[in-house]
Amino acid sequence: MPDAKFLTREGAESRTVSLDGPLFESEPNGNILHEYVKGYLRNQRQGTSSTLNRARMRGGGRKPYRQKGTGRARAGTNSSPLWTGGAVAFGPVPKDFYRKIPKRLKRKALISALSLKAKEGDINIVEKPDVIEPKTRIIADYLKKLGFYHQKTILLYEGRDDNLSVASKNIKYFNVKRAELINPYDLLWHKHILITEDGLARIKEIFGDG
């Protein structure tokens, strides 16, 4: 059974917390994680790249010059892709890349990601920072005391804390998220996973059954 260190706001290790249950004790499945990450990144594509092809371009209806006698190559329209400022041949057009990821795949990937992080000792249970005002300095000092400043770190907590969200935005490599919104990609991208005790209970409550 993997254990996680419990760190206070001052960075002191006071005790250990057992990460029991299938969420943290399963064997990580690399193939499942690979399939999920591919699907997740595909769904993040906006697909808004767009160019003007012949059909979408306005103008070009009049022949730019006569067919013969000019010494130049024949041209029927100035919207030809051969012309500067003309249409684009085979350019990108808006496209929807979204494909639904099966729920079973999501769940298996989450279990694999949590188990992998627990196995590698990258999960720590922490006290939630006391952010009385939305100041970046408060979170920076908090991370420095924990030893995770300027490292890929995510803090998972329960409830809603607008001050915490705003204060964390300007810190490189650091993200905060409500525990119930966690996904396998976030767990894999961040090196260190910080979870409050309430956040851990919420994760077990939502994802622990089934």
CB of 93 within 8 A of CB of 53?
yes
Which of 187, 4, 205 is closest to 106 using CA atoms?
187
pLDDT tens string 154-197 = 999 998 999 999 999 999 999 999 999 999 999 999 999 999 99
DSSP annotation of 159: S
- Predicted pLDDT at 209: 64
Residue 40 has pLDDT above 90, yes or no: yes
- Predicted pLDDT at 198: 94
* pLDDT level of residue 115 (50, 70, 90 thresholds): very high
125: three-class secondary structure by DSSP: strand
Question: Which domains does the chain carry?
Answer: 3-29+101-207 (3.40.1370.10), 46-96 (no CATH)
Please state the pTM of the whole predicted model.
Answer: 0.83
* pLDDT level of residue 62 (50, 70, 90 thresholds): confident
